[in-house]
Amino acid sequence: VKDGNDINEIQKAIRKGKKELYKPTLIIVNTVIGYGSSNQGTNKVHGNPLGKEDGKNAKLSYGFDHEEFYVPEEVYDDFANTCIKRGKNRFNKWSRLLKEYEKAYPELAKELQRAINGEYSLDIEEITKKYVPGFNDATRNTSLELIQEAAKQNPTFMSGTADLACSTKTEIIGENSFSVENYDGRNLVFGIREFAMVAMMNGITLHTGIKVSAGGFLVFSDYFKAALRMAGLMELPIIIPLSHDSIAVGEDGPTHQPVEQLVMLRSIPNVQVLRPADAVETAASWKIAMESSKNPTAIILTRQNVATMEQTSCDGVSKGAYIVGKEVNKLDAIIIASGSEVSLAMEAKTILLNENIDVRVVSMPSMELFEKQDDSYKEMILPKNTRARLAIEMASDFGWHKYVGLDGKTMSVNTFGASAPADVVIENYGFTVNNVVKNIKEIL
């Protein structure tokens, strides 16, 4: 479009674009910034108001010679005869089509309406029966099982990844990839472009009718931050499972080992972040994500195996933090942990008790969900008079001081990672039972 002020040319280009059914259409509209202003063509009209006099000059250049805040009647008439009339006609046409569909396919019509309304659910009662204490697997693998369950229970659920589906474990097994040749495909292949992936997820969700999940490596969440921020702003309940959650990635080294990404995700308003400790907490995290109607959800997953603990619970995850290891006689100190580090805290608890130090272990899969609880629950989990506290998480300690206070400590990662086998990296960064015991003793 050579002249951005030629409405007919713009409409002509849009009509032409709509005729293309299989490819995106790019319309380039040539305009002058601040057209009509005495400062047109400069950055002065971008960051500052035109002012009363220059604003009037701009209006006059459009042929708009009216008093302030006046809308001519022909504008109202044009809107009523085009937009409103067109909208009513299209709505009535859709309503007739929907009624015919409801008559022919009543059950499918109900399913369609639930999808359009965003009424998604996930029953995890049956699948969690297999996650008995001692069940040992990476939470990314458990997440893959939950994706299959979500797909089975919700026919309009789709899943994808920014490449490496075999590593991030996001594929709906047995389903094809969505493409222009296959609209029935339920796997979304985005390519290696995290920002575009989340931006597309936002568009899919705004359209309604589809619950969409797509993920990648946690460390690369920086690339989609701006799009996730928009999801939080627009209250779009997209799901982002993120694997390879810590320095336990190992040989891939510091470029692939997330340090500050958890902090970034937790800092975005309206986004809920869940870092499950085992298979049970992973199932609960997926249930929360699937049934969320306004919150984007990031589920943070391990590459390494973690054993399912006897004390973890789905109800506890829904509250953001809960007690997985209660003190036996007296409360000497509290260890707060997330993800794979919860089992480390539990091992240390046993050793400390043998030395007559009685600690409570709190699993905190989600700071956001915990903050939504009332004060009485928060006090029950983290009593104010117990100031000896240790937080354990293989990531930046930024944000944890809110829970450990001035007298507490953190076991965290505030430098970049290193390239070595996972066990070697974990030990060298101090995430050992002996170090947990040592830290608790120092705090006390």
Cα 1 vs. chain centroid, distance in angstroms? 38
Coil, helix or strand at residue 7 = helix
Orientation angle between helical segments 106-117 and 85-104, nearest 10 degrees: 130
Coil, helix or strand at residue 265 = helix
Q: How many CA atoms lie within 13 A of 153 on its CB side?
A: 19
Inter-residue contact 191 to 163 (CB < 8 Å): yes
Element (H, E) at 49: none
Which of 420, 437, 286, 251 shows the shortest CA–CA distance to 366?
286
Catalytic site positions: 194
Show the tokens assigned to 269. Answer: 């308003």
The pair phi, psi for residue 128, each rounded to 5°, is -70, -15
What is the distance between the alpha carbons of residues 94 and 91, in angstroms, rounded to a whole number? Answer: 5
Helix, strand, coil share (%) of the chain residues, nearest 5 = 45, 15, 40
- Show the CA angle centred on residue 388, arms to residues 411 and 322, nearest 5°: 75
Cα 152 vs. chain centroid, distance in angstroms? 22
Strands (DSSP E) along 64-181, which ranges?
Answer: 136-138, 157-161
Element (H, E) at 97: helix 85-104
Among all chains, which residue has been given the structure tokens 């046993």? 350
Name, in order, each residue with C-beta under 8 angstroms of 318's C-beta and a sequence gap of 6 or more.
284, 288, 369
